[in-house]
Amino acid sequence: MINRSFTLIWVSQALSDVASEMTSLALPLAVLAATRSAVDAALVATVVGIAQLLAKLPSGLIADTYHRKRLMLLCDAARAAVALLLALALATGNLTTIVAVGSAATIALFSSVFGPAESGVLRQAVPLERRREAITRNIVRSNIAIAVGPPLGGMLLAAGAPTAFFADSCSYLLSLALVARVAYTHVARPRASTAATHPLRNTANELTLGFGWVFRRTGLVVLIAFAAYVNLLGRSIELLAAFGVSHDGAHPVSAGLVLTAAGVGGIAGGLCAGWILKRLTPTAIVAAASVAWLLMMPCASTGDELTSAVAVGMVVFSLPSVGSLVGLTISVEAPTHLQGRVGGAVTLLAISIAWAGPGLTGFLISAQGPLTASVVLAAPMVVPLIVLAASPRLRAAVGKIGTVPAREPEPEPEPESVAAAAEQDVLAHGEPAIQGSPAAATARPSLELDDPLGPFAMLALGLGRARPLP
């Protein structure tokens, strides 16, 4: 792969991603078997979603403040312990709804911290010219987990309830062992010159710095708004397709085909994302994704297994390229000391309305039927096509996504130490320079989208899969 550090992280997270997808299916089913309550089983997924949403901003600040590699190791150790406790609870017949919900929420919180910490470590490990490659490879990694994890979780649960959670615990321990070998140099975040007069006010300001960075970039805001509605549609199309192919629940096995199609489509889209980014403008990529949703949403609601699977696979195929544009912009442009908070802000905005997808879809299906529901849900995808066609300013702003303009040198106070010099370089260039290297003495060239870049962290955008990422 790209280099040793990237390979170690990619392999470690491929293992834990597959295991996490396994338990995302296995835990609600285990609760259902233990309590005979569908409400309790659904509560697990609801609490996980709430925990992830609440943790986005604080986790970004934590990752920007503390040693990122140590945070990754701590998160892996904690998740391994909780997964092992779940396995023991199942093995001894002591699994209750409270234990399941508390364990799931704890794992979700530590995963929320792990994500932005991983992004910061990868930013340092992956050379600038290979980040697009890194982004697309991580998209493929996520979609492999989506395609393989749920059916594997069902098989392990059938083999023995504790097995899936014991495998999950082992995956985190393996991840910990691999991450421990990753090379990473911590650069302390810049500190304000004067102490804040009000600690709570200063904390609120620190938490919202990522939003300020995002909202100063019009093209990125447009792309995130597009991603937010896509995440809502992602949950909707799964429900539409599953409802149709299962024939009101009479054939539940057929519904699993939808999730497999989503994973396969995401893998293919991730593999092709680098090729697409080098040949299409960001505006064309957004337009193509909009057209795909407009055409494929009605196809997914037909009730035919093959048609629905192809439709779901095709819309998910279009998403990794959009996600790569967002991930690339953040990994290249956002300063190192704001990486976590920018990522948290983007993720929070991107999943802000996704929760409404299932409820809205269910209401429309019951009121008008699957076909009408699919047309109503897909209709807003006409808006980005009209807006981009009618507004040259917005079209130009979106077209700049993925291009880093040359930065003007800014006067900086003379650093008092090597650590201070590293902080100043982070502020000026977005990543630490290697002392004594030619690159440290020269200005960075502008980076165009056509440069050969590759897979990085998806910042939990939910792009590249049919439902939002954790």
SS3 263: helix
What is the model's pTM? 0.64
> Among residues 370, 349, 133, which one has the least CA distance to residue 230?
349
Which residues pair with residue 293 across a beta bridge? none
Angle between helices 392-399 and 218-245 (to 10 degrees): 80
Q: Are 459 and 223 in contact (CB under 8 A)?
A: no
CA–CA distance, 378 with 358 (Å, rounded to integer): 14
With respect to residue 465, please indicate whether it lies within any of the assigned structural domains.
no
With respect to residue 107, please indicate whether it lies within any of the assigned structural domains.
yes
CA–CA distance, 145 with 263 (Å, rounded to integer): 8
pLDDT in tens, 173-186: 999 999 999 988 88
Type of residue found at 17:
D
Type of residue found at 23:
T
CA–CA distance, 30 with 157 (Å, rounded to integer): 8
In the predicted model, what is the mean pLDDT of residues 323-333? 83
> Among residues 157, 379, 364, 378, which one has the least CA distance to residue 243?
364
* Those residues with Cβ within 8 angstroms of residue 437's Cβ, 6 or more apart along the chain or in another chain: none
With respect to residue 263, please indicate whether it lies within any of the assigned structural domains.
yes
Residue 207 CB neighbours (<10 A): 17
In the predicted model, what is the mean pLDDT of residues 240-268? 67
Q: Residue 255 — very low, low, confident or very high, per pLDDT cuts 50/70/90? A: low
Which residues pair with residue 404 across a beta bridge? 447
Enclosing H/E stretch for 454: strand 454-455
Per-residue tokens: 181 = 């070998």
pLDDT of residue 256: 60
CA–CA distance, 66 with 187 (Å, rounded to integer): 9
Per DSSP, the residues of 367-407 read HH-HHHHHHHHHGGGHHHHHHHHH-HHHHHHHHTTT-BPPP
- Sign of the Cα torsion 267, 271, 275, 277 reads positive
DSSP code of residue 447? B
pLDDT in tens, 329-361: 887 888 888 888 888 888 889 888 877 777 788
SS3 458: coil
With respect to residue 445, please indicate whether it lies within any of the assigned structural domains.
no
Q: Are 345 and 60 in contact (CB under 8 A)?
A: yes
> Among residues 463, 198, 209, which one has the least CA distance to residue 325?
463
CA–CA distance, 414 with 121 (Å, rounded to integer): 27
For residue 155, the number of C-alpha atoms closer than 13 Å in the C-beta half-sphere is: 8
With respect to residue 198, please indicate whether it lies within any of the assigned structural domains.
no
Phi, psi of 404 (to 5 degrees): -105, 115
Angle between helices 199-215 and 339-350 (to 10 degrees): 70
SS3 436: coil
With respect to residue 197, please indicate whether it lies within any of the assigned structural domains.
no
Which residue has better confidence, 10 or 449?
Answer: 10
The yes-or-no verdict on residue 383 having pLDDT over 50 is yes
pLDDT in tens, 109-164: 999 899 889 988 988 888 887 887 887 788 788 778 877 776 777 677 677 778 88
pLDDT in tens, 203-232: 677 778 888 899 999 999 999 999 999 988
Largest CA distance in the chain: 72
pLDDT of residue 410: 40
pLDDT in tens, 155-174: 776 777 788 889 889 999 99
With respect to residue 311, please indicate whether it lies within any of the assigned structural domains.
yes
The yes-or-no verdict on residue 102 having pLDDT over 50 is yes
Residues of the chain by 3-state class (helix, strand, coil), percent to 5: 75, 0, 25
| Burial class of 256 by CB neighbour count within 10 A (0 to 12, 13 to 18, 19+) | middle
pLDDT in tens, 270-292: 888 888 988 899 999 999 999 99
Please state the domain count of the chain.
1
Q: What's the length of the chain?
A: 470
Range of the domain at 332: 4-184+205-403+451-455
Q: Are 462 and 454 in contact (CB under 8 A)?
A: no
> Among residues 444, 452, 446, which one has the least CA distance to residue 428?
444
CATH number at residue 158: 1.20.1250.20
Enclosing H/E stretch for 455: strand 454-455
